[in-house]
Amino acid sequence: MRRRAVAALAAGLVAVSLALVGCTSSDGIAGVGTTEGGDYTSGDGATTTFAPKNRTAPISWTAKDADGGTIASKDLLGKVVVLNFWYAQCGPCIAEAPRLQKLSAAFADDDVQFVGVNVRDAADQAKAFEATHKVTYPTTIEQSGNGAPITVAYTGKVSTNTTPTTLVIDKTGRVAARFSGEITAEQQPVLKDVIQSTLDETS
């Protein structure tokens, strides 16, 4: 009986230790743990972060925004870029829009640029969505004759198949993190911490 009690206690302590590891980070990112090499994937697969040494090469792209202008990755080097893949009739995209706008405003004085990547709508639909939900950062259009330059650029390198998907790109153009699905109220501070951590990187 005594051996069983000791074994049960030991198992309980291990479980608690593992739970604590999954909720903390050696990189100081709240709610995001790390595995060997510094990478991390949440238990549900929704959040993946990549340590600087494990990131793939910078990814380049050039796309048209909703006003017909051009946005190019080369012009964003030196900034942390947050790419949010969305479309107007997507329920989770609607739900997360004010959270992303709030984060964009929070980093307005920093070297951080949010960019929407509309994967389905015409420019007028995208602009109407931005007006309705008070989104102030630019959106690129992946359809309506513009092709899908950003989606194509990341194909085979990081999955953007789920809509919405949010990528955090480091200052050299490499993918630092991927959030699959809606940025929920619970994920919002995690995304904020990932952006700040990536912004604080020296290389």
Domains of the chain, by residue range, sit at: 34-200
Q: Tens-of-pLDDT digits for all 203 residues of the chain?
A: 444 443 443 434 333 332 322 222 333 344 444 444 567 666 566 899 999 999 999 999 999 999 999 999 999 999 999 999 999 999 999 999 999 999 999 999 999 999 999 999 999 999 999 999 999 999 999 986 678 999 999 999 999 989 999 999 999 999 999 999 999 999 999 999 999 999 999 85
pTM: 0.81
Separation of alpha carbons 101 and 201, rounded Å: 23
What is residue 179's predicted lDDT score, i.e. its pLDDT? 97
**In the structure encoding, which two tokens stand for residue 116, read together?**
């929407």
What is residue 45's predicted lDDT score, i.e. its pLDDT? 60
Name which of 183, 200, 168, 184 is nearest 82 in CA terms: 168
Residues 6+ apart with CB under 8 A from 156: none
Question: 148 and 140 in contact (C-beta within 8 Å)?
Answer: no
- CATH class for the region spanning 34-200: alpha beta
